Each structure stands twice: as C-alpha cells, then as structure tokens.
Chain A
Amino acid sequence: KQEVTQIPAALSVPEGENLVLNCSFTDSAIYNLQWFRQDPGKGLTSLLLIQSSQREQTSGRLNASLDKSSGRSTLYIAASQPGDSATYLCAGSNNAGNMLTFGGGTRLMVKP
C-alpha cells in the first residue's frame, strides 16, 4: 500500500527566498506524481504532473523532480512571493487507474 509523507508540515519564509518542499513515498512502483496547491477552504489547483517517463517538470517559478528509486519528489519554488502562501500537496498514482494517494501537505507562509 502506497504511503506518502510530506515534511515539514508547515514552513514560514521571507519573501524572495528560494525554497524546497519534500515529498516521500514508500512504493517505488509509483507511476506518476502530481503537485497541487490548496488555498484555505478551496479545491485543489494542479501545479505540475510528472508523468511516468519523466523525472522533472517546470512551470514558471516552479520545478518538480521525481526520483522513484529513492522514493522522493521535491517541489522547488524560486523567488517566493506572498501570493504563494497556501498548502502544497503531493499525490502519487499507480498504473491501476486515476486513484491518487496524497501526502498530508506542507502549509507555506511567505511573509512580505
């Protein structure tokens, strides 16, 4: 059974700092991994999907990497802004459909 862990649970940084969010998973047979953002009381916004044949994906100031052998994924946020404040969730899927297993999330606060 896949288990996904995100550490730290909360993070506070000053504006402009580069930061890394970590996601680890127990089953290296993970098929792909998706990073999401969730604002308080809202749904999830997809940030990046690292597909099964990929090792990283980039979108603007965001870069996500996936290392299946070590069971780790990281989300790199460059030049953080107060608008980046949110909870970031990683989720992995296996090849049996679209079922996602989520980590507990990292609550990020970027202070002006």
Chain B
Amino acid sequence: KAGVTQTPRYLIKTRGQQVTLSCSPISGHRSVSWYQQTPGQGLQFLFEYFSETQRNKGNFPGRFSGRQFSNSRSEMNVSTLELGDSALYLCASSLPNQGDNEQYFGPGTRLTVT
C-alpha cells in the first residue's frame, strides 16, 4: 500500500506570494491533517479535514487555508507569504474515526520564503 505522498517536495517563494501544497493520503484514509514544523516552534497542528469538511483547526492566521476533495486528497494554501512561513509542512492521514487512530505522515514539503 502506497504511503502518504506530498508534492512538491521543495519550494522557494518570495515574500508576498502565495503557495499551494498537495497531499495524497493512504488509500482508504479519509482524514487528512496538516502540520507546520519549524526549529523554533516545533510541530504545530494547522487543520484537519474529513469528508471535505474542516473538522479541527489550530491557532494559525487566516492566511493559512485548506481544502479536501472527494477523493480525500487535500491541499493547503498560504497567501501573502512571510519569512516566518519558512518551514517543513507535513501532512498526515488516518482512518476517519475520532480517537484511536494511528497517524501516518508524508515526507513533507520544505518551503523557503525569501
């Protein structure tokens, strides 16, 4: 069974631009979560999508948004990029039940904002 895939793997953007990252979950997984990892703040939860609906949201500004498609693939978008948005963005997929689900992570997208 293929794992979680994320594209692109690396991105370089300029301040003020916007960016879209993509995540394809493990087949049969319908929950997709996004995390931001930085050296200073560690791993922080962005949001979770299930059945094309945002189910949970972390404490990030509205510049960070996401969506999920009917095939469970998810995208996240960051508008008006800031230098502090430079990070490794990880997505995780799991079964949709709330609670006891193992989370499986993708390799991440490394975003650099200059």
Contact = CB atoms under 8 A, between A and B. Distances in A.
A98 B101 contact: yes
Contacts of A98: 31, 33, 48, 55-56, 92, 94, 98, 101, 103
Interface in B49-107: 50, 55-56, 58, 88, 90, 92, 94, 98-107
Classify the secondary structure of B's interface with A.
Answer: strand
Contacts of A102: 35, 42-44
A46 B81 CA distance: 31
Nearest to B102: A49
Contacts of B42: 102-105
Q: How large is the interface on B (under 10, 10 to 19, 20 to 34, 35 or more residues)?
A: 20 to 34
Contact of B104 (A41, A46, A51, A103): A46
Contacts of B92: 44, 98, 100
B102 A46 contact: yes
Interface string A75-107: 000000000000001010101111111111100
Interface residues of A, number: 27
Contacts of B104: 46
Nearest to B93: A98
Contacts of A96: 56, 98
Contact of B33 (A36, A100, A103, A104): A100
A24 interface: no
Contacts of A103: 42
Interface of A: 31-32, 34, 36, 41-46, 49, 51-52, 89, 91, 93, 95-105
Interface of B: 4, 31, 33, 35, 42-45, 48, 50, 55-56, 58, 88, 90, 92, 94, 98-108, 110
